[in-house]
Amino acid sequence: MKISARNVLKGTIVEVTKGATTSHVKIDVNGAIVTASITNEAVDSLKLEKGKNAYAVVKASDVMVAVD
């Protein structure tokens, strides 16, 4: 499957924290840690766990830009 989202960043899962319905997944992308907040259901369905290769995927319209 190819997706229109412009940002598909390859990395490795370093942490999965499950809540009541929402999980937080941290992915190491070239040394930068990217945090995703997704459903527990997705974590189970994709069998996400620490050490697994994964992509952080972000639609361009969800990216902001900041400067110092």
**51 touches a copy of itself (CB under 8 A):** no
**28 touches a copy of itself (CB under 8 A):** no
Query: What CA–CA distances, in Å, run from 37 to 22, 26, 53, 62, 67?
Result: 7, 9, 17, 14, 25
Among 12, 14, 15, 17, interactor with a copy of itself by CB under 8 A: 17
Among 12, 15, 50, 59, interactor with a copy of itself by CB under 8 A: 59
Closest CA to 10 of 52, 44, 42: 52
**68 touches a copy of itself (CB under 8 A):** yes
